[in-house]
Structure 1
Amino acid sequence: MAVALDWQSLGEIDYDRALQLQLARVEALLAGVDERQTVFALEHPRTITIGRNGTRDHILLPAEVLERQGFVVREVDRGGDVTYHGPGQLVLYPILHLAPWENDVAKFVRNLEEFVIRALANVGITGTRVGDLPGVWVGDDKICAVGARVKRRPSGEFVSYHGIALNVNTQLADFGAIIPCGIQDRGVTSVAKVLGQAQSMPFWEQALCDAFCDVFDCAPTHSGMSHADV
């Protein structure tokens, strides 16, 4: 039987508020007071995040320049190094308890990559994995970042948060502020760049939802959030 999934479209929302929403759902799952499987779909304003394996040395611009250009910088508890978020990038945060997927964290991360690969394939883009580098790649360029974190319920079941960031219409020049994921010999790309034209963000949200539900065997219900909620 397909897993019921609450797919919430949040629009553009700042990173701190999105993290608050994630952690509230994580705590509800850890406490067992709300079993809903949830995905938050959203965009962020210009934000640089530094993962647990990251370093500020991979941010290339001085703090005053970043501030002047509208970037915020946050240290976060996901895996990985330095990542950029910004307008035109579609971010998904799956807040899931993993028993329906064999409670297998490694498989969960592979499935995050797999559903993006399938969504890209539907428009003729060949996304691949590259060795032990996380994310989805088109040739030598990363098109989608993947960074997950889990916490454990008393039962031993894992609960996931953080997720994926697909460059759809992303201003790729903004990546010049960082060494993405600490990788210096590879680039970044976007769906718009590969296909040669700007993309519909609603189309890509639906495409990712369809592929996610295919890979994870989910039945989604869709909702948004009012300005009072966010």
Structure 2
Amino acid sequence: MTDAHLSDFATPDAGIEWRRSTGQVPYRDALAQQQARSDALIAGEGQELVWMLEHPPVYTAGTSADGSELVDARFDVVETGRGGRYTYHGPGQRVTYVLLDLKNRARDVRQFVHAMEGWVIATLADFDVQAFAVPERVGIWTHDLTGAEAKIGAIGVRVRRWVTMHGFAVNLSPDLSHFGGIVPCGIAEYGVTSMAALGKTVAPDEWDEALLARAGNFLEAISIPENS
């Protein structure tokens, strides 16, 4: 695994560490790094972080996870402390962890989540994938090749003393059969899709760069209003 700082690209906020990892980062290692960075930010130390990476196959359990929704524990299962239920991460799925101090931004968790949804949806549109959020369903949705609604991205966050952890994951080209071991986010009525399943070939670095190009709008959406 190699870490690359995104200094080759115009980052929208130099105060944030923008990190991209190639290869696969074990989930427990990434969680420990997030926790350490979160603790530092809460203590008023360290630097905010946006981290783009992939994991080996793993199922993660949020604070609302229901054991009956773990259908087949074929991979490691990790309790995360984030909100939500069971989620799968694995090769071909690009994960972005967003560790920001909302004390320096708009102190509104709902606004933060909606801004992340908008960030992902706008980036998917750059690849001609029309995605959307559904208020009563967690995640990022699109229509698969049959026209049915299917999940293409997951969102899960934890906020402690206004410092955020976790973030979102977008399916570029994962093995979709791996989602069969869980009921993703507790929603059994809808399927899961990917950009590859929609006929879009997108490399991880191509996705990262497109996401970065849209990051300024995300940061603006969570900024403190000028008249406040």
Establish whether TM, by shorter chain, passes 0.5.
yes
User: In the TM superposition, what are the counterparts of 1:35-184 in structure 2 within 5 Å?
Assistant: 36-61=47-72, 63=73, 66=74, 71-139=75-143, 140-152=149-161, 158-184=162-188
- Corresponding residue pairs, total: 203
Q: Which residue of 1 aligns with 2:215?
A: 212
Secondary structure at 1:18 match in 2 = helix
Cα distance per residue 1:25-67 (max 9 Å; x no partner): 1011001122x22111110000001110012211112x4xx1x
Pick aligned residue for 1:193 from 189, 197, 216: 197
Secondary structure at 1:191 match in 2 = coil
Q: CA deviation at 1:217?
A: 3.9
Secondary structure at 1:175 match in 2 = helix
Query: 2: CA distance between counterparts of 1:199 and 1:121?
Result: 13
Asked if the contact 1:41/1:92 (under 8 Å) is kept, the reply is yes
Secondary structure at 1:166 match in 2 = strand
> When the two structures are superposed, what TM-score results if normalisation uses the length of structure 2?
0.85
Query: 2: CA distance between counterparts of 1:56 and 1:209?
Result: 36
Identity rate, percent: 38
Asked if the contact 2:27/2:55 (under 8 Å) is kept, the reply is yes
Asked if the contact 1:50/1:56 (under 8 Å) is kept, the reply is no
Q: CA deviation at 1:10?
A: 2.0
Secondary structure at 1:198 match in 2 = coil
Q: Which runs of 5+ in 2 are unaligned?
A: 1-11, 144-148, 222-228
Asked if the contact 2:138/2:185 (under 8 Å) is kept, the reply is no
Query: 2: CA distance between counterparts of 1:103 and 1:134?
Result: 21
Query: 2: CA distance between counterparts of 1:100 and 1:132?
Result: 29
Give RMSD over aligned pairs. 1.5
Asked if the contact 1:15/1:44 (under 8 Å) is kept, the reply is yes
> When the two structures are superposed, what TM-score results if normalisation uses the length of structure 1?
0.84
Query: 1: CA distance between counterparts of 2:44 and 2:104?
Result: 15
Query: 1: CA distance between counterparts of 2:174 and 2:59?
Result: 14
Q: CA deviation at 1:189?
A: 0.6
Q: Which residue of 1 aligns with 2:17?
A: 6
Q: Which letter does structure 1 place at the counterpart of 2:218?
A: V
Q: Which runs of 5+ in 1 are unaligned?
A: 153-157, 219-230
Secondary structure at 1:20 match in 2 = helix
Q: CA deviation at 1:6?
A: 1.1
Query: 2: CA distance between counterparts of 1:215 and 1:207?
Result: 13
Query: 1: CA distance between counterparts of 2:81 and 2:200?
Result: 35
Q: Which letter does structure 2 place at the counterpart of 1:6?
A: E
Q: CA deviation at 1:100?
A: 4.0
Runs of 4+ in 1 over 6 A off after TM superposition: none
Q: CA deviation at 1:197?
A: 4.3
